Amino acid sequence: MRAMKLGLFCRQVLQRHSFVPLVCHCIQLSSLKASPVAFISTLQHLGCRLTGNSSPGLSEANFRLRSSKTDSSEGSQKLLQTLAISSVEPERPAGADLLNLGKVADPFLDMGLSPAQITQLFSLQPNLPPQTRLTVVSELLLLGLNTDSTLKVLQKSPELLKMSLKHLRDRADLLRRLGFEEAGMNHVAIHFPSIFTLPQKKIESLERLLKEKCLFTVHQISTILQMCPNILLEELNDVEYKFQFAYFRMGVKHREIVQSGFFQASLTEIKNRLIFLERLGLYQTPDKKGQTQVVNPKLKSIIRFSETDFVTKMACSSVEEYKIFKKLLVREERRLEEQEAAMQSDLSDLESDEEGSYTE
């Protein structure tokens, strides 16, 4: 049905341009019934007939008509091209007409982007020149991303299109120095594309923090960053506090912190689970010799279990009880914060009174 409608539409257009003899000769119902591909082939043949050299089969009147209707023939050829594109790619979004881009689209087609992908690409940051887009796309493809991944990255973080070539290359070189290989680079680009827009000093400061204050080795730092690239987006003070909680509060050593993927998890959820286990008598912070009176579960299991598995299998409790516990813990922590604030206020007042007495 679709091919039939398309054929009738084309016949009306061609008739309007006075190509009746050619229409009747070239557009056959058999080709319409066969398939859209066969129909397009017929249309292409028709286009050649309209624009090709004269042949004995053409009447003298038709020859004069063709000579005087050059513009109409060119218009018909463009119509054929448009119909061919729409028939081969029926799922293209509305308005995705590469004819408007002209030769601008050629380099993107050469890199493997489909017409639909190019249309979506040019809808991002519409005021940017084509060469800027081409540069950014080329660099992302050089990182090992395929065309689908490249488009997803730019859709998640359109500001990447405004990054200079030097910035993108420097960022890629820095991540490679930190141990990121092609697979890791792809993971970062797809899931955390904003990392490519971060200042280089931010990444270097995090590296120093993990090395100098947290005392991780170079190899451990590389593993942490590849397993938990989200750490690059966190504040340095939060990262340091998170490490201190694992090392001092939970008594977990560097190796286990790295292997568990500790920095992937939310600190709030880790604290909730730890305190819940402690109050059930299932976890105990090791002493200075690293000894405990209970067998502590592994950190990896604590943070990676789903909430249901953690509660039922590890804590041997119920999900409802755990939810109530978390609400009560929030109230308890809020009360402690208020008490600490009151104590700080009292100390400040006391210091002010003492300074006043010394002045007198």
Angle at 102 between CA 101 and CA 103, to 5 degrees: 115
The pLDDT of residue 6: 47
What's the pLDDT band for 81 if we cut at 50, 70, 90? low
How far CA 167 is from CA of 131, 196, 224, in Å, comes to 16, 8, 24
Kindly give the interhelix angle for 182-191 and 147-156, rounded to the nearest 10 degrees. Answer: 40
What's the pLDDT band for 60 if we cut at 50, 70, 90? very low
The identity of residue 148, as a single letter, is D
The pLDDT of residue 296: 96
| Cβ proximity of 39 and 31 under 8 Å | yes
The pTM (predicted TM-score) of the whole model is 0.65
Structure tokens at 15: 């008739």
Cα 215 off chain centre by: 32
Choose among 312, 331, 332: nearest CA to 322: 312
Does the structure show a pLDDT above 70 at 322?
A: yes
The pLDDT of residue 15: 52
| DSSP assignment letter at 160 | G
- Tell me how far apart the alpha carbons of residues 156 and 349 are, in angstroms, rounded to a whole number: 51
How far CA 249 is from CA of 253, 279, 301, 314, in Å, comes to 11, 15, 17, 20
- Tell me how far apart the alpha carbons of residues 107 and 78 are, in angstroms, rounded to a whole number: 21
What's the pLDDT band for 8 if we cut at 50, 70, 90? low
Note the pLDDT tens digit of each residue in 226-281.
999 999 999 999 999 999 999 999 999 999 999 999 999 999 999 999 999 999 99
Mean pLDDT on 169-194: 86
The pLDDT of residue 50: 41
Mean pLDDT, rounded, of the chain: 78
The better pLDDT of the pair 205, 63 is held by 205
- Tell me how far apart the alpha carbons of residues 11 and 176 are, in angstroms, rounded to a whole number: 60
Mean pLDDT on 119-127: 91
Q: What is the DSSP string of 26-91?
A: H--HHHHHH-HHHHHHHHHHHHHHHHS---TTS-HHHHHHHHHTHHHHHHHHHHHHHHHHHHH-TT
Summarize the chain as % helix, strand, coil (round to 5).
Answer: 75, 0, 25
| DSSP assignment letter at 114 | -
Structure tokens at 4: 């039939």
Choose among 51, 55, 87, 86: nearest CA to 72: 51
| Cβ proximity of 42 and 26 under 8 Å | yes
The pLDDT of residue 104: 86
Structure tokens at 219: 């190899």
Does the structure show a pLDDT above 70 at 19?
A: no
Choose among 250, 161, 234: nearest CA to 192: 234
Choose among 104, 158, 157, 174: nearest CA to 134: 104
| Cβ proximity of 26 and 49 under 8 Å | yes
Does the structure show a pLDDT above 90 at 46?
A: no
- Tell me how far apart the alpha carbons of residues 84 and 36 are, in angstroms, rounded to a whole number: 9
The pLDDT of residue 113: 92
Does the structure show a pLDDT above 50 at 41?
A: no
| Cβ proximity of 311 and 318 under 8 Å | yes
The better pLDDT of the pair 70, 271 is held by 271
Q: Which residue has the tokens 């689209």?
A: 105
